[in-house]
Structure 1
Amino acid sequence: MRSRRRRTRAVLSVLAAAVVGVAGCDAAGGDSSAPEARRTPPAPVWDPSPGSVAAVGDSITRGFDACSVLSDCPEVSWATGSSPEVDSLAVRLLGRAKAAERSWNYAVTGARMADLPGQMARAAARRPELVAVMVGANDACRASVSAMTPVADFRAGFEDAMRTLRKALPKSQVYVASIPDLKRLWSQGRTNPLGKQVWKLGVCPSMLGDADALDAAAVQRRDAVERRVAQYNAVLREVCARDRRCRSDGGAVHAFRFGTEQLSHWDWFHPSVDGQARLAEIAYRTVTAEER
């Protein structure tokens, strides 16, 4: 009996050692000697060198008033223009020759957020690898403060536009520019007599109307527009953040301090050729930045 018990204890000891060895191997991932470098890292979601670009948005993306008064000038567009003075986002990403064949501009002067889903559908038909978005200024630039697009409607419009794109192109990337600081544009342009005359033709009346008025009502009106732009920019940033293949500029366009050289010398409100180049720089930095 004693001999049998000794043999039993010996067998149990061997089995216990084997179990410990197996457990130790599993805890180390199967082969504890395999270096971490052998594990293949996941592919990054964001591609900093897309092969095609489509642009959607409003007058800024159409180069409005950059070349001549009250006219589009898409060749100087920050997003897809061909002008060497601007070096648009498409040119910087693709090169000049390829950009001429692989970039498209579906922005429309006067467009608001409600127009974006339709523009996005047209852009998606080209199957671009990157869609550049700048929209929202016209939602604040209304005949009156009360006519500005409600924030909830603005959000619904942007979400609809993103759904439209994702339904057609689940993996296309999106760059979203913030809305410029309209109040700063007013403060810069109001010193120019020609600009103020052009403003009277209906350029952003909620902010630019009665440009020299500094009474309480005028200040309150401009402050209301400024707050609404901040709310729109928050929507653009939040909706974009929910999409793994969307990058916003983090407020860089809104923070950019447009000076007189960056404003149209026709209306002193829209970006000049130089201003378009600055927008292209901001977009390129965002698109090509390290994975965030």
Structure 2
Amino acid sequence: MVRHRSIRTALGAVVATLALVAASIAGASGAQAAAPPPPSIAALGDSITQATDACGYKDCPAYSWSTGTSSSVKSHATRLKAAGATTLAVYNNAVTGSKAANLLAQAQKAVAQQAQYVTVEIGANDACTTTVAGMTPTATFSASVLAALQTINQGTPTAKIFVASIPNLKQMWSLSKSKAGARLVWAAGRVCQSMLAKPTSTAAADNARRDQVQARVVEFNTALAAACAAVSNCTFDGNAVANLAFTSSHISVLDYFHPSIAGQAKLAEVTWPLTPYGAP
């Protein structure tokens, strides 16, 4: 009986220990809940974040996926305010036409603004050039992005950074290449000619060119992930935007390339759960 009692006592201790471990795991899981909203947000990037051509042939920042104010988009800024950041300071530092080389100046601006949450969407213009030869080398792109993220880290160490991947440019071509209006605008406006030149051509050289541009985009996204991993408080979207299956409704009918209002809303919807503030 004494031996049986000892065994029961030992088993009881094991059960108690397992219960403590389970509680600890549950507590750790709970600790991963969404972070409290920050007092400020700054958006860095290019025309995507300025919502160019979403409401006319111009920048339409009210519809930006990151800092927009329109209820039809439900931007990150709108969601932060709904989460309690009622006095959120909002800055959109993105500049239409920007490449990775321009990101450092935007990052310095965010530091001067002391933004505590910074979103980054950059790279489309590094691949969208007049010719394939004009695309930014991947190493150059990588160094530019890393320098910008390090500047944020050093200038505002407590700021959280969210880096979004670059959309699939070949998919943008595929969505609209059969539309006469798209072909007219792409040619007249010289839109992303590295990808969109001769949109209906099935020649081997043109297929290879499009593949080469998209391959560079993939390299850029890998570089974005690596740069984000190399600094503190940075979250990469895991290629969520790169893998997003846009539909025609998500693309502006003004240039058949930039996100429409619905497209901006989709970007916000897809990226928000991946941020420190949208975590379940």
Short-chain TM bin: 0.7 to 0.9
In the alignment, what sits opposite 1:275? 263
In the alignment, what sits opposite 2:186? 199
Amino acid at match of 2:179: N
Amino acid at match of 2:73: V
In the alignment, what sits opposite 2:95? 108
Amino acid at match of 2:232: R
Q: Residues 83-129 of structure 1: CA distance to partner in whole angstroms, max 9, x if unpaired?
A: 11101111011239967851110000100000000001011111111
Greater Cα shift, 57-66 or 163-172: 163-172
In the alignment, what sits opposite 1:221? 209
> Aligned partners of 1:217, 1:100: CA distance in 2, in Å?
54
- State the SS of the aligned residue for 2:43: strand
In the alignment, what sits opposite 1:90? 77
- State the SS of the aligned residue for 1:195: helix
Q: Quick one: structure 1 residues 99 and 144, their matched pair in 2 at CA, closer, same or farther if it must change by over 3 Å? A: farther
Amino acid at match of 2:190: G
> Aligned partners of 1:205, 1:52: CA distance in 2, in Å?
37
- State the SS of the aligned residue for 1:93: helix
Does residue 1:187 correspond to 2:177, yes or no? no
Amino acid at match of 1:235: A
In the alignment, what sits opposite 2:232? 244
> Aligned partners of 1:194, 1:125: CA distance in 2, in Å?
43
Identity of counterpart residues, as a percentage? 40
* 8 Å Cα contact 1:80/1:99 also seen in 2: no
Amino acid at match of 1:152: A
Q: Quick one: structure 1 residues 131 and 44, their matched pair in 2 at CA, closer, same or farther if it must change by over 3 Å? A: same
In the alignment, what sits opposite 1:132? 119
In the alignment, what sits opposite 1:123? 110
Bigger-Rg structure (1/2)? 1
Amino acid at match of 2:261: V
Runs of 4+ in structure 1 deviating by more than 3 angstroms, as ranges, are 35-38, 43-46, 95-101, 288-291
Q: Quick one: structure 1 residues 64 and 198, their matched pair in 2 at CA, closer, same or farther if it must change by over 3 Å? A: same
- State the SS of the aligned residue for 1:166: helix
Does residue 1:258 correspond to 2:274, yes or no? no
Deviation at 1:189, TM superposition (A): 1.4
* 8 Å Cα contact 2:249/2:262 also seen in 1: yes
- Aligned pair partner of 1:67 in 43, 47, 55: 55
* 8 Å Cα contact 1:178/1:252 also seen in 2: yes
For this pair of structures, how many residues does the alignment match? 255
Greater Cα shift, 223-232 or 90-99: 90-99
Amino acid at match of 1:255: N
Q: Residues 56-93 of structure 1: CA distance to partner in whole angstroms, max 9, x if unpaired?
A: 00000000111113x11111000001111101111011
> Aligned partners of 1:172, 1:45: CA distance in 2, in Å?
18
Does residue 1:159 correspond to 2:146, yes or no? yes
* 8 Å Cα contact 1:117/1:157 also seen in 2: yes
Which structure 2 segments of 5+ residues have no match?
Answer: 1-19
Deviation at 1:160, TM superposition (A): 0.7
> Aligned partners of 2:264, 2:279: CA distance in 1, in Å?
24
| RMSD, matched Cα | 2.4
Q: Quick one: structure 1 residues 51 and 252, their matched pair in 2 at CA, closer, same or farther if it must change by over 3 Å? A: same
- State the SS of the aligned residue for 1:254: coil
> Aligned partners of 1:173, 1:198: CA distance in 2, in Å?
38
Q: Quick one: structure 1 residues 268 and 97, their matched pair in 2 at CA, closer, same or farther if it must change by over 3 Å? A: farther
Deviation at 1:283, TM superposition (A): 2.1
Amino acid at match of 1:107: A
